[in-house]
Amino acid sequence: MTPAHTAVAGEFHGKKSTTATPVANGRRTGVQQEAPTPADKQPMYADRVKIYPRRIQGTFRRVKWAALWVLLGLYYIGPWLRWDRGPGAPDQALLIDMAGPRAYFFGIEIWPQEVYYLTGLLIFGAIGLFLATAWFGRVWCGFTCPQTVWTDLFMWVERKIEGDRNARMRLDKGPMTGDKAVKKAATHVAWLLIAFATGGAWILYFGDAPTLVREFFTGQASLSVYGFTALFTGTTYLLAGWAREQVCIYMCPWPRFQAAMFDEHSLIVTYEEWRGEPRGGARKDQSFEDRGHCVDCGMCWQVCPTGVDIRKGQQMACIGCALCVDACNSVMPKFGLPPNLITYDSISNQAARARGEPTRYRFFRPRTIAYMVLLAAVAAVMAFSLATRTRLEVNILHDRSPLFVQLSGGGIRNGYTFKILNMAREEKTYALTTAGIPNAELTVIGVQNDPAPNVELEVRPDDIGSFRVFVTAPRESVPAAANDIEFVLTDTYTGETATNATVFSAPGR
Amino acid sequence: MADKYVDPLTGTETTGHEWDGIRELNNPLPKWWLYVFYATILFSIVWFILFPAWPSLSGYTQGVLGYSSRERLNAELEEVRQSRSFWMDRFEQSSVEDIAKDPELLNFAMAGGRVIFGDNCAPCHGSGGAGAPGYPILADDEWMWGGSLDAIHQTITYGVRNEHADTRYSEMPAFGADEILEPAQIDAVADYVLSISGQGEAAGGDGETVFAENCVACHGEDARGIPEMGAPNLTDGIWLYGGTKDEIVAQVVKPKHGVMPYWIGRLSDAEIKQAAIYVHSLGGGE
């Protein structure tokens, strides 16, 4: 064993002194007396306090359930939707075919080089998120974020098996009994099953769903299918089962800057302090003269999935799910008090109520109008580009060695690698010709041996045709070292034309 | 230094070492760190036993597994050969003409031919067959020994003017150095050659006569060259050793003769076929 030695400055002793007793020489003694003992050491991080959200019923809870079932439904049904694309093409409506390689979204087919549509989609999503936040606060976090949805589902399972808040707290505090072991095991098994269904469904978006499911359970699927299913199962179990609010508070970047999307008209979950304070316990039929309406029942923070006490004001950990609104509204009537002490409303309305003025919700504000315009612009650009995009793409690569060849007849010839991407589902015949150089003639290896002004090229459906194209031009047609030339490709059936400019090299003068 | 002293600030025991009143805290390495360290030592010992490790004066320890990177390379090369054998077999059984007609074989030939060309041919003929002074351009349409698939295949197999018995062979007489022609005749014939290749008028004199008497045997009556003789076409603008009058005169006086190695024996039959098809596809194949 080789212990490491860490030298630190201890107390100053006399030069030759070996005594362990500190020398009381004024300055140092002071330090000695204030020095913390190991028992005083402060931990750097606070331990996680486990949260036991209480069950609650109410308007927002119903909305949350609805969102949960709709979103989970979409997620699980998504891969099973069919979309007929004709023979030889996958008939799955939503499919990211890695081997293909291309992505299918109903009638839209995206090739890898068109991946900028994904960028457009992400921009669209981001602006949509900003707009929703400007209108309704953290409605994304509270109702539709996958972390929220799956955590909610996991909590529901937990509650079904282990009971509500108090029962769960008792269970966790109590000793390990057979009953506790069974309940805990059942919870985790249920969680893992849901996580597996989640991870498994994710894989289905990357292959033909019925085939994949059959292969998966007969052991014929590829290692990557099993690997990714395991990965997504594990992360779902970990994030929704264990990490929960910690994802929102520590891992997610969105809470950190979503406040910038708010203004005083955004609907957010807040506590009406002017009305609630001073708070205190209350009996039934008690007079609420000279005191606030908050009866300090604690329901608002007990139902909170992130353990927030909203009465302390807006805070990062609040995901805006409004369950505390439901909780408070379930208590207020018992005391004959008006609802919405905790309210899902804008700051300006809250202030208006405090002043006794009428409230109104401003849907159109400079901020939301700007977001809407941006959103519409992105959507329009995307739609336009999707509607007008060509299913024919051409790549031309000019030979670099040799740049040109002088032929025995005196002509100059350039070689090109000409690639035609036929993204359509039928075989195409294209007529290729050139423009810009008089009397240029074409030969194509394996297709046309004798030079001619035109050549017909056939490309199989959904494929890339690669051709070695030689262009021969008379010496006098190409006076410069680099001459402009255009390849004009015409679909002989539809008449669709693609023109691509490139260069024709010659000796020059 | 047997003094046991606990530092009151940190509550850590010291090692007993002290310099000018500075005591050294005893903070041992974390256990996991040490165990990882021991594991690496153990791992290295096992490695020394299993694999070649220690150099000696006349070699090195072999290791009990008998591992050898050379053998592994050979095995991997053998695997590659095996995986290609399906195509290579078909290659060997097919003529270059047949290969060129089969799209699948053609594809394979083009891919392999490109690599073979880059490794073996490009140093002289340039990448893409661009050629260099003295080394023919393979991308144009003039072929001294013929540009058909078979002719190219033959040229690659046996080369030009090398020591192989079946090599292509021809030599142009040194008309000047061996005093077959007078300098004036050489000057005249050079002018004539320039004129028939479209570069100026013949300066008169007996250039045409000299050509007819001395050159047509190889270069042909119309000076368009005879591939069987390896004699180039003199009527076009393509010149192996340069097309100025000085360069033409120099070639008549004491001709340079390029040499190309034979590839039979160095490349497999299939590889030569691949190279031939690739060269043919460079643009000039007849």
Residue type, A349: N
Q: Is the dihedral of CA A31, A34, A39, A40 positive or negative?
A: negative
Residue A201's pLDDT is 93
Q: Using one digit for the tens of pLDDT, what is the confidence trace for B138-179?
A: 988 889 999 899 999 999 999 999 999 999 999 999 999 999
Contacts A417 to B, Cβ<8 Å: none
Quote the minimal CA–CA distance from A14 to chain B in Å. Answer: 7
CB neighbour burial string for B136-172, b if at least 16 within 10 angstroms, e if fewer = bbbbbbbbbbbbbbebbbbbbbbbbbeebeebbeeeb
The rounded distance, in Å, linking the Cα atoms of B173 and B159 is: 21
Rounded-to-10 torsion of CA B75, B76, B78, B84 = 160
Contacts B8 to A, Cβ<8 Å: 32, 35, 37
Of B8, B28, B233, the CB nearest to A35: B8
Of B103, B236, B281, the CB nearest to A408: B236
Q: Are A487 and A432 in contact (CB under 8 A)?
A: yes
Q: Which of B6, B99, B137, B140 has the highest number of chain A CBs within 10 A, making it the mutation to test binding with A?
A: B140
- What confidence tier does B204 reach under pLDDT thresholds 50, 70, 90? low
Residue A282's pLDDT is 80
**H helix or E strand, kind and range, residue A73:** helix A59-77
Instruction: Name the H helices within A268-423.
Output: 273-276, 299-302, 323-331, 347-355, 366-388
CB neighbours (10 Å) of residue A55? 14
Contacts B28 to A, Cβ<8 Å: 1, 3-4
Question: Which residue in chain B has the smallest CA separation from A16?
Answer: B20
CB neighbour burial string for A249-281, b if at least 16 within 10 angstroms, e if fewer = beebeebeebeebbeebbbbbbbbbebbeebee
Residue type, A289: E
Question: Which residue in chain B has the smallest CA separation from A7?
Answer: B24
Q: Which of A6, A405, A447, A475 has the highest number of chain B CBs within 10 A, making it the mutation to test binding with B?
A: A405
Q: Three-state DSSP class for A342?
A: strand
Residue B66's pLDDT is 87
CB contact under 8 A, A400 and B137: no
Residue B203's pLDDT is 62
| pLDDT (tens place) for every residue of chain A, 509 residues total | 444 444 444 333 434 444 444 444 434 433 444 444 555 556 666 778 889 999 999 999 999 999 999 999 999 999 999 988 877 788 899 999 888 788 999 888 888 888 888 899 999 999 999 999 999 999 999 999 999 999 999 999 999 999 999 999 999 998 989 999 999 999 999 999 999 999 999 999 998 999 999 999 998 888 999 999 999 999 999 999 999 899 998 899 998 888 888 888 999 999 998 888 888 888 877 788 888 889 989 899 999 999 899 999 888 889 999 999 999 999 999 888 888 899 999 999 999 988 988 888 888 999 999 999 999 999 999 999 988 887 788 899 998 888 888 888 888 999 999 999 888 878 889 999 999 999 999 998 878 888 899 999 999 888 888 888 999 999 888 988 999 999 999 988 888 888 999 999 998 76
> Interface pTM (ipTM) of the complex?
0.70
Residue A168's pLDDT is 92
CA angle A413, A415, A421 (to 5 degrees): 140
CB contact under 8 A, B7 and A18: no
Q: Using one digit for the tens of pLDDT, what is the confidence trace for A193-245?
A: 999 999 999 999 998 999 999 999 998 888 999 999 999 999 999 999 999 89
CB neighbours (10 Å) of residue A341? 24
Question: Which residue in chain A has the smallest CA separation from B130?
Answer: A402
Instruction: Determine phi and psi for B197, rounding to 5 degrees.
Output: -95, 10
CB neighbour burial string for A187-216, b if at least 16 within 10 angstroms, e if fewer = bbebbeebbbebbbbbbbbbbbbeebbeeb
The residue count for chain A: 509
Which distant-in-sequence residues (6+ apart) come within 8 Å of A429 by Cβ? A456, A457, A458, A459, A491, A492, A493
Of B7, B26, B283, the CB nearest to A415: B283
- How many CB contacts within 8 angstroms connect chain A with chain B? 111
**H helix or E strand, kind and range, residue A451:** strand A448-452
Residue A44's pLDDT is 64
Quote the minimal CA–CA distance from B251 to chain A in Å. Answer: 20
Quote the minimal CA–CA distance from A322 to chain B in Å. Answer: 47
Q: Check if B281 contacts A (Cβ < 8 Å).
A: yes
Q: Is the dihedral of CA B94, B100, B101, B105 positive or negative?
A: positive
Nearest to A266, CA basis, from A371, A134, A139, A360: A134
Annotate A103-115 with DSSP letters as a single string.
EEETTEEE-GGGT
Q: Using one digit for the tens of pLDDT, what is the confidence trace for B76-114?
A: 999 998 988 888 888 888 888 888 888 888 888 888 999
Of A5, A32, A408, the CB nearest to B24: A5
Residue A368's pLDDT is 92
Which distant-in-sequence residues (6+ apart) come within 8 Å of B226 by Cβ? B218, B219, B220
The rounded distance, in Å, linking the Cα atoms of B62 and B85 is: 33
The reported pTM is 0.66
Of A3, A32, A35, the CB nearest to B26: A3
The rounded distance, in Å, linking the Cα atoms of A474 and A484 is: 15
CB contact under 8 A, A8 and B22: yes
Quote the minimal CA–CA distance from A215 to chain B in Å. Answer: 28
Q: Is the dihedral of CA A196, A202, A208, A209 positive or negative?
A: positive
Residue A446's pLDDT is 78
- β-partners of residue A217 are none
Contacts A40 to B, Cβ<8 Å: none
Residue A421's pLDDT is 87
Contacts A4 to B, Cβ<8 Å: 27-29
Is B285's pLDDT higher than 80? Answer: no
Annotate B178-212 with DSSP letters as a single string.
TTSS-HHHHHHHHHHHHHHTTSS---STTHHHHHH
CB contact under 8 A, A5 and B236: no
Residue A33's pLDDT is 45
CA angle A5, A11, A14 (to 5 degrees): 110
Q: Three-state DSSP class for A453?
A: coil
Quote the minimal CA–CA distance from A457 to chain B in Å. Answer: 15
Q: Which residues 80-109 of B are in CB contact (within 8 Å) with A?
A: 103, 106
Q: Using one digit for the tens of pLDDT, what is the confidence trace for B21-60?
A: 888 888 888 899 999 999 999 999 999 999 998 999 998 8
The residue count for chain B: 286
For the range A157-164, what are the long-range contacts, defined as Cβ-Cβ under 8 Å and sequence gap of 24 or more? Answer: A157/A187, A157/A190, A157/A191, A157/A194, A158/A187, A159/A55, A161/A186, A161/A187, A161/A190, A162/A187, A164/A54, A164/A55
Tokens of A166: 């108090």
Contacts B233 to A, Cβ<8 Å: 408
CB contact under 8 A, B140 and A400: no
Of A6, A20, A409, the CB nearest to B27: A6
**H helix or E strand, kind and range, residue A489:** strand A482-491
What is chain A's Cα-based Rg?
Answer: 35
CB contact under 8 A, B198 and A445: no
CB contact under 8 A, A8 and B25: yes
